[in-house]
């Protein structure tokens, strides 16, 4: 059950990050989940290191840091994805 909860949690965090980041992101559902899980892990570790969150239970501070980390990861990923696509000449 643990892996399913990580996937669902990653999806929720990733969707919130996509809502908060302005503009259109050209990534699919799988990348949204991956970036959400990555942001949750980075945010959880950062919150624990700062003494804001607890690794054993839900904490709103660590949730906010996880969303922020996911927004940052999504912004970085969007830059790399946009570089790979050719823009039509104007």
Could you tell me the residue range of the domain that residue 38 belongs to?
Answer: 22-82
Please count the structural domains in the chain: 1
Residue 1 lies inside a defined structural domain of this protein: no
Q: What is the pLDDT of residues 17-73, one digit of tens each?
A: 888 887 777 777 788 888 888 888 888 788 778 887 665 666 787 788 888 888 888
Residue 88 lies inside a defined structural domain of this protein: no
pTM as predicted:
0.74
Scored b (16 or more CB within 10 A) or e, 48-73 reads: beeeebeeeeebeebbebbbbbbbbb
Residue 52 lies inside a defined structural domain of this protein: yes
Residue 1 CA to residue 24 CA, distance in Å, equals: 33
């Amino acid at each position: 059950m643990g892996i399913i909860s990580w996937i669902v949690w990653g999806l929720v965090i990733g969707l919130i990050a996509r809502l908060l980041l302005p503009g259109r992101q050209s990534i699919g559902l799988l990348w949204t989940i991956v970036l959400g899980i990555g942001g949750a892990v980075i945010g959880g570790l950062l919150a624990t290191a700062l003494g804001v969150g607890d690794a054993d239970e839900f904490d709103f501070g660590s949730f906010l840091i996880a969303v922020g980390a996911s927004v940052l990861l999504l912004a970085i990923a969007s830059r790399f994805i946009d570089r790979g696509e050719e823009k039509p000449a104007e």
